[in-house]
Amino acid sequence: MSVELTLLTWSAALAFAYVMVQSTAYRLDYGIKFAGSQRDNERPPNKWAARGNRALRNFLETYGIFIALAVATELSGRSDSLTQWGAQLWFWARWAYIPGYFIDIPLLRSGIWMVSLIGLVLLFVGVAF
């Protein structure tokens, strides 16, 4: 199995981690009873639940692109050092993004996001050209 396909497989665990962080932050803020309800009259979330929501949304914005590029790499047989580096940069930066989003260090979150974007660009270049 290629590096890209391996990381695509493990990205399911990554997606699960994002969902668990978001849902845990939500339940800690609103309580289990409210989380299990229809959530009518929902108040604004606290900063931790809001960060969990935004981190998950941000992950989902790039996840589809990663899936498409990893599959295209595999189907085209164009896996090489460029696509492998791209896949690894995206994957490991997305793992780092979870704690990075919750730590209040200026520009840390944005820097991690930029590394993941570079990974997607490398994957695209490796497959498209």
CATH number at residue 50: 1.20.120.550
pLDDT of 104 > 90? The answer is no
pTM of the model: 0.92
* Helix/strand/coil for 104: coil
pLDDT of 19 > 90? The answer is yes
Give the chain's domain count. Answer: 1
Separation CA 32–CA 43 (nearest Å): 15
Burial class (CB in 10 A: 0-12, 13-18, 19+), 44: exposed
For residue 84, the enclosing domain spans 3-128
Mark out the alpha helices in 31-80 (DSSP H runs): 32-35, 47-76
Residue 40 has what pLDDT? 87
Which amino acid does the sequence have at 126?
Answer: G
